[in-house]
């Protein structure tokens, strides 16, 4: 046997047990999400399903996924989580922080994997990032790099900006406490005056813009929670009216017309979540699987918005951007 044949044989013997295991059973997982389920799937859900397929779990062959959505109403998540908890599932995948909390309340028996969470330790989901314990693990999407880098990018475009507004949806108050704290810390270090406000509804957001228009800040930072993403049209409409540069935590807001976003790569977070599911289906305990923090980041810039605001985006930012919208 030549060296190449030997290597191919060795690779086959390593891969075959994994594929054989996946083919001998049908796994049943629940998928709990706050936002509406799209068809075709969102980029994040597609990344999750595709990665599972690469790992040997294929929908319709050896994998069944039970989907439940709260249709952008966090209050409905608890009932949807209870519904999944009543099924004979191998794993529940919770897309987002509120979904993970609802799933944990619904079951202490079924393993739970969260696809992105701002502060799983602070929320009481896990004992620590290194040793989660219990039945919950997954991927965090907040790191000190996110909060600091977002303000650094803001400063590069608006070097004289000092009065910065920071807003988020009120259901995110406890979940996003760490991100607010990190942002405030970096703002103080950079000599910025941070005005913080949680928003309870679309009507409250409109009222906030009316009020803030009388003492307009130099820029607005919007945290990456799903409710605020659903308010993106309101954000963009009033941002344009007030000529207020918006720096977001989710690229969808930039695609709608905000100036810039710097965030974890959400598709990558969902891909990493698929690996947790795979390990659990093969016998690993969720409490033994350390929570991962983001390693891939996504920078999106809307040049059309920059021109409308009369701003010049430095070439150094454009060179680093993953997505530039004309």
pLDDT above 90 covers a percentage of the chain that reads 69
The answer to whether 3-141+266-296 and 144-264+298-325 have equal CATH topology is: yes
Name the pLDDT band for 119 (thresholds 50, 70, 90).
confident
**Residue 112 bridge partners (DSSP):** 92, 136
pTM over 0.85: no
Name the pLDDT band for 21 (thresholds 50, 70, 90).
low
Residue 284 makes CB contacts below 8 A (sequence gap 6+) with none
Of the candidates 129, 124, 231, which has an alpha carbon nearest to the alpha carbon of residue 175? Answer: 124
**Domain boundary assignment for the chain:** 3-141+266-296, 144-264+298-325
HEC assignment per residue over 270-282: HHHHHHHHHHHHC
Report the side by side order of strands in the sheet with 246-248: 193-199, 163-169, 219-222, 246-248, 260-264, 297-302, 323-325
Q: What is the pLDDT of residue 204?
A: 96
46-89: per-residue pLDDT in tens?
A: 999 999 999 999 999 999 999 999 887 878 999 999 999 999 89
Average pLDDT of the residues of the chain = 89
128: three-class secondary structure by DSSP:
coil
106-117: per-residue pLDDT in tens?
A: 999 999 999 988
State yes or no: pLDDT of 232 exceeds 80.
Answer: yes
Burial of 43 by CB count in 10 Å (0-12 exposed, 13-18 middle, 19+ buried)? Answer: middle
CATH of domain 3-141+266-296: 3.40.50.2300
Expressed in angstroms, the distance from the first to the final Cα of the chain is: 57
Name the pLDDT band for 294 (thresholds 50, 70, 90).
confident
168: three-class secondary structure by DSSP:
strand
CATH fold, domain 144-264+298-325, is Rossmann fold (3.40.50)
Sequential DSSP letters for 80-119:
HHHHHHTS--SEEEEESHHHHHHHHHH-SSS-EEEEEES-
115 preceded by cis ω (within 30°)?
no
Name the pLDDT band for 222 (thresholds 50, 70, 90).
very high
Average pLDDT over residues 224-230: 83
């Amino acid at each position: 046997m030549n060296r190449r044949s030997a290597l191919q044989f060795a690779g086959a013997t390593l891969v075959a047990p994994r594929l054989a295991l996946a083919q001998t059973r049908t796994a049943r997982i629940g998928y709990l999400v706050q936002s509406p389920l799209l068809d075709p799937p969102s980029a994040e859900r597609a990344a999750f399903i595709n990665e599972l397929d690469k790992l040997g779990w294929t929908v319709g062959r050896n994998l069944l996924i039970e989907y439940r959505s709260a249709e952008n109403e966090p209050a409905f998540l608890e009932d949807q989580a209870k519904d999944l908890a009543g099924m004979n599932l191998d794993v529940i995948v919770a897309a987002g922080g509120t979904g993970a909390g609802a799933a944990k309340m619904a079951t202490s028996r079924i393993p739970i994997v969260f696809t992105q969470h701002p502060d799983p330790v602070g929320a009481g989901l896990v004992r620590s990032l290194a040793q989660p314990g219990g039945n919950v693990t997954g991927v965090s999407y907040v790191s000190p790099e996110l909060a600091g880098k977002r303000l650094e990018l803001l400063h590069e475009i608006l070097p004289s900006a000092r009065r910065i507004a920071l807003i988020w949806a009120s259901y995110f108050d406890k979940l996003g406490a760490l991100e607010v704290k990190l942002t405030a810390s970096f703002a103080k270090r950079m000599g910025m005056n941070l005005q913080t406000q949680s928003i309870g509804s679309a009507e409250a957001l409109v009222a906030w813009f009316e009020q803030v228009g009388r003492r307009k800040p130099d820029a607005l930072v919007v945290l990456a929670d799903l409710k605020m993403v659903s308010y993106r049209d309101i954000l963009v409409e009033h941002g344009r009216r007030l000529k207020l540069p918006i720096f977001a935590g989710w690229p969808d807001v930039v695609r709608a017309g905000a100036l810039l976003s710097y965030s974890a790569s959400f598709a990558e977070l969902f891909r990493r979540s698929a690996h947790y599911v795979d390990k659990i289906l093969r016998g690993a305990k969720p409490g033994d699987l350390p929570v991962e923090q983001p390693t891939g980041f996504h920078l999106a810039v809307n040049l059309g918005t920059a021109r409308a605001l009369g701003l010049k985006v430095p070439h150094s930012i454009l060179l680093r951007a993953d997505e530039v919208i004309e």
